[in-house]
Amino acid sequence: MTLIPADQHFAVITAILALCALAFASERTVIGQKVTGTVVVILLAIAAANLGIIPHSAPAYGFIFSYVVPLLIPLFLFQADVRRLAREASRTSLAFLVAALGTVAGVIVAALLLDLSQLGVASELAADRREAGIVGLFASTYIGGSVNYAALGEITGLSADASFFSAATAADNLFSAVFLSVIALVPGAHWIARHFVEHTASEAVQVTETVVTPASISYALAAAAGIVAITDLLCWWLEIPSWRYAVMTLISVGLATAVPQIRDWFSGAFEVGVALSFPFFAAIAAGADIRAMISVAPLLIILVAILLSVHLTVLLVVGRKLGLTIPELLTASNAAILGATTAPAMAAAKGWHDQVTPGVLVGVLGYALGTFIGTALFQLW
């Protein structure tokens, strides 16, 4: 039982929006400016859910995931001209490959240090197959996000063990949210940032001063919804539902490139996208049930902590050697850990406007690579 029941839909939405408002307000303080509203809303949602104020799961969250999240991509991409983003996109793609390497290295180190066969004991799978499945499962989710996590759960057979899979999902949600908080703090750590090349934003994605009107916001929302609707129709017709974000990105970027004037026509779209991204962050963080994770499989905490620690270490060390910048590396890492929806949202919130489109593109790349790499590791292990 929670103070706000899951079936009180408007109350749940009100609580989420209140957390978002507090997070935005915190950015007016000295601490809030350093921590960022993104980190604040994640931590507030985790605390609120685990203190029994808001539920861990609710239909209202499903509404956010189903209807708000898809709108974010077009809203962010209306400023993107791919002809002037080629350099940034290619560099962020390289950063994403480094992030994927960090995930693979992290899951292998964790598997070698821990006896993962102890996890999922209720499963009918043999111990070695369970261990291999867990390796593939967490490799996939931290290369492509939850889409790949669900796929590997079915491929490995781990999803049949309800208690383990629930605990694993909690660990995934919690540490993804915590990791997002950590990487959001990295740019402010001068002892780290000073070792990297200074990031110079591309002129293609600098936010220009335009007049925001109710009409321009209405145009932007209508166009964004239209792109989502067209995308879903195409994916249904071609029977390629897993390509949804790839198609959505292609349409949005194609429109922005062919008609660059829409940046002015849809002024305010970017800001609306940032505002809508905060409820998404809060809904993700609220799903982290710490008690369930600790009671069912505490070894998961150590597993994910090792994995993400190695991931971040490889990301920063190899990324520095390759001359990549902090925004490129952190956007790529975000896309790998959380997927194509959070990477552009964080980039927008941090003011890295030139990383919004690359964040989506490498996130989609993660959807393609995550299941493949996770399956390969599962079979090889």
Model confidence over 76-109: pLDDT tens digits? 888 776 665 566 578 888 999 999 999 999 999 9
CB 332 within 8 A of CB 92: yes
Considering the chain, what percentage of its residues have pLDDT values greater than 70? Answer: 90
For 65, which DSSP code? I
325-366 per-position pLDDT tens digit: 999 999 999 999 887 777 887 888 788 888 888 888 888 778
Give Cα 14 to chain centroid, integer Å: 23
CB 378 within 8 A of CB 135: yes
Question: Is the predicted pLDDT of residue 269 greater than 70, yes or no?
Answer: yes
Asked if residue 364 belongs to a domain, the reply is yes
Residue 198, classed as helix, strand or coil, is coil
Q: In whole angstroms, give the CA distance from residue 231 to residue 241.
A: 10
299 lies in some domain: yes
The answer to whether 290 and 270 are in contact (CB under 8 A) is: no
> Would the CA dihedral through 365, 371, 373, 374 be positive or negative?
positive
Our CA dihedral for 246, 72, 231, 142, rounded to 10 degrees, sits at: 30
- The two structure tokens encoding residue 255: 């429109």
Residue 2, domain member (yes or no) = no
* 8 Å CB contact between 149 and 137: yes
Q: How many domains does the chain have?
A: 1
Give the pLDDT score at 206: 46
pLDDT in the model for residue 242: 65
pLDDT at 77: 81
Residue pair 212/93 in contact (Cβ under 8 Å)? The answer is no
Interval 32-86: pLDDT, tens: 766 678 778 888 998 999 899 999 889 999 899 889 888 988 888 887 766 655 6
Q: What is the mean pLDDT of residues 200-208?
A: 51
Residue ranges making up the domain that contains 369: 82-196+210-269+295-380
Residue 242: closest CA among 152, 147, 169, 361: 147
Higher-confidence residue: 148 or 218? 218
Quick one: DSSP state of residue 149? H
C-alpha to C-alpha distance for 135 and 157, rounded to whole angstroms: 13
Smallest CA-to-CA distance from 161 within 134, 143, 128 is with 134
pLDDT, residue 123, reads 54
pLDDT band at 210 (very low <50, low <70, confident <90, very high): confident
Q: Are 361 and 88 in contact (CB under 8 A)?
A: no
pLDDT at residue 78, rounded to an integer: 84
Q: What is the mean pLDDT of residues 12-33?
A: 90
- DSSP track, 112-131: HHS-GGGTTTTSSS-HHHHH
- Confidence (pLDDT) at 32: 75
Mean pLDDT along residues 273-293 = 83
Q: Which residue has the higher pLDDT, 324 or 164?
A: 324
- Residue 353 placed within a domain: yes
* Residues 68, 102: Cα–Cα separation, whole Å: 31
Residues 6+ apart with CB under 8 A from 295: 167
Asked if pLDDT for residue 203 goes beyond 60, the answer is no
The answer as to whether 111 is a domain residue is: yes
Please answer whether residues 337 and 175 qualify as being in contact, where contact means their C-beta atoms are separated by less than 8 angstroms.
Answer: no
| DSSP letter string, 305-360 | HHHHHHHHHHHHHHHHHTT--HHHHHHHHHHHHH-TTHHHHHHHHHT-GGGHHHHH
Q: Domain for residue 290, yes or no?
A: no
Instruction: Report the range out of 238-252, 260-274, 276-290, 304-318 with the highest average pLDDT.
Output: 304-318
pLDDT of residue 187: 81
Inform me whether the pLDDT recorded for 236 exceeds 80: yes
Please state whether 201 falls in left (phi above 0), alpha (psi between -120 and 50) or beta.
beta
Residues near 226 by Cβ (< 8 Å), separated by ≥ 6?
A: none
**DSSP label of 267:** T
- Between residues 207 and 282, which one has the greater pLDDT? 282
State both tokens at 306: 């090792």
Give residue 273's pLDDT band: very low, low, confident or very high (50, 70, 90): confident
Given a cut of 60, whether residue 205 has pLDDT beyond it is: no
| Alpha-carbon distance values, 211 to 112, 252, 266, 321, 334 (Å) | 57, 22, 10, 42, 31
Residue 28 lies in a domain: no
C-alpha distances out from residue 76 to 63, 81, 155, 256, Å = 20, 12, 34, 11
Alpha carbons 144 and 99: distance in angstroms, whole number: 11
Please tell me which of 15-29, 137-151, 191-205 the model is most confident about, judged by mean pLDDT.
15-29
CA-wise closest residue to 284 among 59, 46, 38? 46
- Indicate the pLDDT class of residue 204, thresholds 50, 70 and 90: very low
Q: Which of 1-10, 73-82, 119-128, 334-343 has the highest mean pLDDT?
A: 1-10
Q: E strands within the chain?
A: none
Is residue 47 included in any domain, yes or no? Answer: no
Q: Which helix (H) or strand (E) holds 55?
A: none
Cα–Cα distance, 246 to 54 (Å, whole number): 33
Query: Residue 191: pLDDT band by 50, 70, 90 thresholds?
Result: confident
